[in-house]
Amino acid sequence: MGVLKRSFKGSRRVSSCGCSDLGLVRSRNEDRWGCIGSRFFVVADGVGGNPAGNVAAEHAVWSMCQWVRGMTLGQFDDDPEGCLALSVEKANRHILDLSSQESGWEGMGTTVCCLYIDDDICYHAHVGDSRIYCLRDGVLHQLTEDHCCRASDRPGGYPGQRSHVLTQALGMKDDAEPSVGALDLQEGDLFLMCSDGLHDSLSDSAILDCLLDDTQSKDAIGYDEGIIQRDRLDVVSRNLIHKAKSQGGQDNITLILVQVGDTLS
C-alpha cells in the first residue's frame, strides 16, 4: 500500500511515504502521485465526472517529474518558485495537447499539488483542491488554499465533492495559474499532501488527531535518533486512509507524508 523512501538532501534527513487507495465507492482510481528522491513530490487527482481523469492525473505527474528531472540545481537555486510554476504550466499544456489528439480524452482534467524540499526552505505549488499541510509543534497548518467556490455561486466549472466547483484545474484552460509559496523549514516538520478524498472525509482536527496520535506514540514502531522511521510514516498513512474510509470512502484517497528530520553532523 505504501511506498517508503529514506534519503538525505544536503545536510538534512528526509523520509517520505506515499500511498493511494480506491476508496469504497469508485470503480477506478483517478489519483496519482510521484516523487524524485527526497527533493520533489507531487499528487494529482483526476477530475471526477469527466473523461479520462486518470489519464490526466497520470500525465500530470509524469510531465512534472520529467520537467523537474531536466532542471539543473543551478536553475532551481536561481528561481525555485518559478521552476515549480513552470512545471505546472508545462503539465497543463501537455494535458491540453493530449486531449485534442485522442478521441475520448477531450475535456479531461486534474488537480495537482507539489512540494520541493531545499536545505532550509520548502517550496510548494498547486492548482485545484489537492492540499498541502504542515504539522509543526503540534499545530496543523494548511499551506494551500483550494481553488474552488460554492456551486451556487458559479455556473459551470468542474463539479467537485459536496457542493463546490473547481475554479482551476489542469486541462481546464490554456493558461494555468498555480498558486506558489515557500516556508522556512524547521526540524521535525511533517508535510501532508493529499487529494480531496482525504480532506473531504476528515476535518482538519481529525487529521491532526490522527497525525499526533501516531507521531507522539513512541511505542508504535520506534525511533531512530529521534527521527520518525519510514515504517512509522507508513503507519500514519494507513491510519489516515483507514479513518477516511470509515467515514464512507466516497472518493479515491491519496497522500504523501514528508518528514524533515535532524540536521546531520
Can you read off the three cell numbers belonging to residue 200? 473531504
CB 2 within 8 A of CB 17: yes
pLDDT at 65: 96
Query: 13-43, pLDDT tens digit by residue?
Result: 899 999 999 999 998 999 999 999 999 999 9
Can you read off the three cell numbers belonging to residue 103? 478521441
Mean pLDDT of all residues in 121-127? 97
For the chain, the average pLDDT equals 85
Can you read off the three cell numbers belonging to residue 97? 495537447
Q: What is the number of other CB atoms lying within 10 angstroms of the CB of residue 68?
A: 22
> Is residue 257 predicted with pLDDT exceeding 60?
yes
Query: 63-80, pLDDT tens digit by residue?
Result: 999 999 988 667 777 889
Q: What is the pTM of this model?
A: 0.87
Distance CA 116, CA 71 (A): 13
Distance CA 237, CA 80 (A): 28
> Residue 208, exposed/middle/buried by CB under 10 A (0-12, 13-18, 19+)?
middle
> Is residue 163 predicted with pLDDT exceeding 70?
no
Distance CA 195, CA 23 (A): 12
> Residue 145, exposed/middle/buried by CB under 10 A (0-12, 13-18, 19+)?
exposed
> Is residue 3 predicted with pLDDT exceeding 90?
no
> Is residue 207 predicted with pLDDT exceeding 80?
yes
CA distances (Å), 230 to each of 9, 28, 108, in order? 16, 28, 35
Percent of the chain with pLDDT over 70: 82
Can you read off the three cell numbers belonging to residue 134? 504542515
CATH number of 2-263: 3.60.40.10
pLDDT at 218: 42
Q: What is the number of other CB atoms lying within 10 angstroms of the CB of residue 25?
A: 11
pLDDT at 220: 41
pLDDT at 132: 98
